[in-house]
Chains A and B, each alone.
Chain A
Amino acid sequence: MDKSTIVCRCEEINIDEIESAINLGAHTFNDIKRLTRCGMGPCQAKCCMNLVRQIISDKTGHPLSEIKPPRMRMPLSVTRMGALAGTRASSVASVFGESAEEGETVHEEKL
C-alpha cells in the first residue's frame, strides 16, 4: 500500500493523512478521528477500524491489542431523523428562551 491508499472511504482519508495526525502527536483512534474525520462518516468506522489501528500500531510501536477502537456512538447505523424524533414536544432549551430570561445567569441554564 502506498501513502495515497484510502483507508476511510466515507471521508476519503488516505494513509498519509493518518500518519501526519500521528506525527502531530495523536496516538489514539479517537484523537486521529477528530483531526482527520476518519471514521466520522456514514459507516461509523466499520470499514477503517482495523486499518487505522494497524497504522497506529506500526507507527507507534504499541502492540495492536492495546490500540482501542474508536468510541461507538448512537445510532450505530444511519437512521432517519423522523424515526428518532420523539412524539412529545421537545424539552431541549431554546437559545432565544435563555436570552429572554431576566437576571445575571441567563445564559447558564437550569435542567
Chain B
Amino acid sequence: MKKSYDVIVVGSGVVGSSIAYHLSEDKSKEILTIDKDFPLSGTSGSTQAWVWVHNKTPAWYGELNMYSAELYPFLERKIGDVEYKRTGGIAPFFSEADREKALKLAEKQAEVGIKVEVLSRDEVLEKEPALSRNIAGATYSKIDGNVNPFRLIELFVRAARKNGAQFLFYNPVTNITKENGMFKVTTQDGDYFSNQLVMAGGPWSKSLGKLLGIDVPIKQVRGQVIVTEPLSPFLSHTIGGMRQADNGEVLVGYSKEEVGYDRRSTLDIIQDTARMAIDFVPALEKVNVVRCFSGIRAMPEDGFPILGEIPGIENAYIAAMHSGITLSPLVGTVMTELLSDGETSIDLERFSLKRFDTIQSIG
C-alpha cells in the first residue's frame, strides 16, 4: 500500500467520512482515512440521527445547521439513498408558561431565515395525533428531519472509495510528528505520510490532540436510547425526543451524563427514558422494547463545533462537534474548500480552536 498521501484524515465517523468523500469529489488529491476501529463504531453508530435545526440557539448556530440540512437532498443525489426524510420537527412543551419562550425563539430564528411556528395543543395533535393530550403546545419547523446514520456513513465511504480515496480500518494512530514539512502518522501497521492532516476523532479528539501537543476542549457526554419493536407507521414527524425509523422502530431518548467513555446502558436512565416515552406518546406504554444503546457525544466545552485550521501547526486541521449527523454535509463541504483553496464560503473564524484559551504547547 502507498505510504504517502496529499491528505490523511484520522477518524472515519460521519465527520471524517464526509470530509474524505467531499475531498475526493474532484479526484485531484490522494486521500487516506485511518480508523482505529470501523466507521460506525464511534458516536456515529449510536445516535438518534435527527437532522435537526429549528431550536438550535443562538440563531447563528441554528443557521449553520439549516445550511447543512439544506444540503441533504443534493448529497443524496450524489451518494445514494441515505433514507433522509424532511419530516418536519416538533418540540413539545407541557406548560402554557413556555409559550412565551417559544414565541421568542420563533422571533430570533426568523432573523436568520429559520421558519419556526408556535402551535397550540390542538394544532400539534392535528399534525401528530399520537402525542399526549397533556402537552400545551410545541414549536414546529418544516426544515427538520432525520436520516439513517448506518446508510449515510456506509455510502460516504463507498462513494469516497469510488473516487479513489483509501481507507484503513482497525488500525490505531499512535503517534504524529512532522518531518521535512510532512506529517508522519504512525499507526499499528506502519507509518504513513501526508502534506495535510485532518483530525476527526469525535469523542477521542482530546487524546488525538495530545499526539499533536494541543488540548482539545471537549467533554464526553453519554446518551442512552431505547429502541422499540417495529410498529406500523404512526409518527410522521421527528419529535424532539423520539422518531420512528423507516422500518417502524421508534427510537426514544435524550439523556445526558458525563461519565467518561462508558457505553453501558443503566437501568435508572432507561426507566426515566421509558417514562418520557409514555409522557410524550401514551400508546407507547403497551409496546415492546427490543433493545437499548448508548453513545458518547463529543461535546466541545462551549457546545459549538471546533472546525478549521489548528493554530500554530501548518496544514493541520480539526473537525470535532456535537450534531455531526446534521452538520456533516456542510462540514465536508467547507473543510474541502479550506484544504483545497484555503478559503471557505462560510466564515469559520467563530469555530476556531483559537477561541479557547486552553491551547497549551504547539507541535
Contacts and interface: CB of A to CB of B under 8 A. Distances in A.
A10 B115 CA distance: 41
A35 B150 contact: yes
A65 interface: no
B240 A95 contact: yes
B154 A35 contact: yes
A85 B293 contact: no
A40 interface: yes
Consensus secondary structure, chain B interface: mixed
B285 A82 contact: yes
Given A79-B289, A95-B55, A96-B138, A84 B154 contact: no
B156 interface: no
B174 interface: no
A107 B57 contact: yes
A47 B284 CA distance: 27
B141 to A, nearest CB: 11
Interface residue range, chain B: 35 or more
Contacts of B258: 111
A25 interface: yes
B303 A107 contact: yes
Nearest to A42: B290
Given A31-B41, A34-B150, A99-B91, A84 B289 contact: yes
Contacts of A40: 290-291
Contact of B272 (A25, A44, A91, A100): A91
* 5 A-B pairs with the lowest CB-CB distances in the bound complex, closest first: A95-B240, A99-B55, A108-B303, A86-B271, A100-B101
22 contacts: A25-B169, A30-B41, A31-B37, A44-B291, A73-B292, A73-B293, A81-B228, A81-B285, A81-B289, A82-B285, A86-B268, A91-B272, A92-B255, A92-B272, A92-B273, A93-B254, A94-B93, A104-B58, A107-B303, A107-B322, A108-B322, A109-B256
Interface of A: 24-28, 30-31, 34-35, 37, 40-42, 44, 73-75, 78-82, 84-100, 104-111
Interface of B: 37-38, 40-41, 45, 55-58, 61, 91-93, 98, 101-102, 105, 138-139, 150, 154, 157-158, 167, 169-170, 221, 226, 228-229, 240-241, 253-258, 265, 267-279, 284-293, 299-300, 302-303, 322-323
